[in-house]
A and B are shown apart, each in its own frame.
Chain A
């Protein structure tokens, strides 16, 4: 267990995620455009129920059970969806008119970073799905840190961000087997492991991570866990509506989720049927642990209060009337930074 002075954390309200992938693209454009990074998506948004990225990662092991490390499988580039190339040049400038069309160059894929988008589960008209954005969880009990024989991964004392030292890394990839969320990627060109850095260069300038700041849904809260005025402490510790993903993986993640309420079911006559939830409880419990049912009730109670005209601090927090308050103090505009080369 890593000892830190403070811990940065994120809370994602899954009731607001529309799966637009703005966070995914923000991170991609900012951090993973270099050599060897083409297939990396440090932030990914997948449809749940769904196999996720990498494909079936929840069954790949890693993490801890009963305090003991669980052996993990290495995700392949194919599992992660590869990085398709397209024939834009040929279509636009090849002079072949309709004889050529835009398509993926090379082998036909059967998986991608978001292949099973919008499929979900259930039966019409009661099919269901929601979107789950994921980054490195910067865990309090990080399996990756423990797994590295060169101690090339460290958890920063000052804010709990977990970082890979690319100079110490020799590309053994034990960390990739150890991470149960499979959020570490191998750079085949540079032969080092890489992952989400919680935008620490931005954090150090008072700017929130790009995925959070760019989100048009205003669903990603950022802040120190111990800041009583910040959104994290309020959502996770005071209201307790922020839950970790797969607490059963044993790594104590610091990215939390407000679980999704679902629309009601319809019965055979097309009438609303509230006797059963649309998203099965067991499914949500398998993702977020047993407290998720209670959390959904808290959300519903507070929504009802707000509808009746009463004050609800929880609803005020989740609605985000003032966007800057989402970021726990990291609300600086990155355009105000003057970067100089050292």
Chain B
């Protein structure tokens, strides 16, 4: 897959590989959508097509929403000891009390959020201001703050913007930090289970 991309797009293989494993999986999926013809020959092993959004809605009942942090500037200071002490020291997902109760989750429990694309483990904060059916994950937690390095981004289905693969332009090029979505808008549905 890497060689094919290098040929087609003339991009630097090193910077491409800097993306996290999770980001690469998302990238592969996205590219598969863009190039169905070559996918058959060289696509990574995906055992079944990704469910459509409508199918997802029944299976994955929480709509994930990203939010911008006020405890950091993106991921800068996201792992700062003083700021972590002003939260709970670890990645959090905010759930409505009804949703948490229905899943047997109490405030402070760890839970796994998952869908077809990936899963991550985080502590749950039960908050009445969260809309039932919504899961809020503030953005920019570093992957190394999650168990197994599997962060929130691994579940976001938004494919890579192909503009990021354009070669030869300073302002349009693949960059390490641009290979992964940091928030989700409305495209990610997950289910959450108590650990």
Q: Are B81 and A86 in contact (CB under 8 A)?
A: yes
> Nearest chain A CB to B97's CB is how many angstroms away?
8
Residue A102 is within 8 A (CB to CB) of chain B in the complex? yes
Q: Are A101 and B146 in contact (CB under 8 A)?
A: yes
Q: Are A112 and B88 in contact (CB under 8 A)?
A: yes
Residue B144 is within 8 A (CB to CB) of chain A in the complex? yes
Cα-based distance from A136 to B148 in the complex (angstroms): 43
Q: Are A118 and B149 in contact (CB under 8 A)?
A: no
Instruction: Given A81-B85, A104-B89, decide whether A110 and B149 contact each other with a Cβ distance below 8 A.
Output: no
Q: Which of B79, B85, B148, B149 has the largest count of A CB atoms less than 10 A from its CB?
A: B85
Residue B47 is within 8 A (CB to CB) of chain A in the complex? no
Q: Are B85 and A83 in contact (CB under 8 A)?
A: yes
Residue A123 is within 8 A (CB to CB) of chain B in the complex? yes
Q: How many residues of A contact B (CB 8 A)?
A: 39
Residue B142 is within 8 A (CB to CB) of chain A in the complex? yes
> Nearest chain A CB to B154's CB is how many angstroms away?
12
Residue A133 is within 8 A (CB to CB) of chain B in the complex? no
> Nearest chain A CB to B21's CB is how many angstroms away?
9
Binding-face segment, B9-17, B49-57, B128-136, B162-170: B128-136
1/0 per position for B132-153, CB-CB distance to A under 8 A? 1000000000101111110000
Residue of B with least CB distance to A44: B86
Which residues 99-120 in A have Cβ within 8 Å of B in the complex?
A: 101-104, 109-110, 112-115, 117-120
1/0 per position for B68-81, CB-CB distance to A under 8 A? 00110000000101
Q: Choose from A25, A119, A124 the contact partner of B82 (Cβ within 8 Å).
A: A25
Cα-based distance from A109 to B108 in the complex (angstroms): 10
Instruction: Given A21-B71, A101-B144, A102-B79, decide whether A127 and B85 contact each other with a Cβ distance below 8 A.
Output: no
Q: Are A115 and B88 in contact (CB under 8 A)?
A: yes
Q: Which of A28, A98, A102, A128 has the largest count of B CB atoms less than 10 A from its CB?
A: A102
Residue of A with least CB distance to B108: A110
Give the chain A neighbours of B83 by CB distance below 8 A.
21, 25
Q: Are A124 and B132 in contact (CB under 8 A)?
A: yes
Q: Are A104 and B90 in contact (CB under 8 A)?
A: yes
Q: Choose from B70, B142, B149 the contact partner of A98 (Cβ within 8 Å).
A: B149
Instruction: Given A110-B108, A112-B85, decide whether A124 and B131 contact each other with a Cβ distance below 8 A.
Output: yes
Q: Choose from A21, A121, A127 the contact partner of B86 (Cβ within 8 Å).
A: A21
Instruction: Given A98-B149, A102-B79, A124-B96, decide whether A113 and B129 contact each other with a Cβ distance below 8 A.
Output: no
Residue A24 is within 8 A (CB to CB) of chain B in the complex? yes
Residue B126 is within 8 A (CB to CB) of chain A in the complex? yes
Name A's interface SS.
loop
Q: Choose from A20, A86, A88 the contact partner of B89 (Cβ within 8 Å).
A: A86
> Nearest chain A CB to B121's CB is how many angstroms away?
10
Q: Are B89 and A118 in contact (CB under 8 A)?
A: no
Give the chain B neighbours of A101 by CB distance below 8 A.
144-149
Which residues 87-119 in B have Cβ within 8 Å of A in the complex?
A: 87-90, 94, 96, 107-108
Residue A31 is within 8 A (CB to CB) of chain B in the complex? no
Give the chain A neighbours of B107 by CB distance below 8 A.
119
Residue of A with least CB distance to B21: A98
By a beta-carbon cutoff of 8 Å, the part of chain A in contact with chain B is: 18-21, 24-25, 28-29, 81, 83-86, 88, 91, 97-98, 101-104, 109-110, 112-115, 117-125, 127-129
19 contacts between A and B (CB under 8 A): A18-B70, A20-B71, A88-B81, A91-B144, A97-B149, A98-B148, A101-B147, A109-B88, A112-B86, A112-B87, A113-B86, A117-B86, A118-B125, A119-B107, A119-B128, A120-B127, A120-B129, A124-B128, A127-B129
By a beta-carbon cutoff of 8 Å, the part of chain B in contact with chain A is: 70-71, 79, 81-90, 94, 96, 107-108, 125-132, 142, 144-149
Q: A102-B144, A119-B126 are in contact. List 20 more A-B contacts (CB 8 A).
A: A24-B86, A25-B82, A25-B83, A83-B85, A84-B84, A86-B79, A88-B81, A101-B145, A102-B79, A102-B142, A103-B89, A103-B90, A103-B145, A104-B90, A113-B86, A118-B129, A120-B127, A122-B129, A124-B132, A127-B127
CB-CB nearest 6 A-B residue pairs: A98-B149, A127-B128, A127-B129, A114-B86, A102-B145, A104-B89
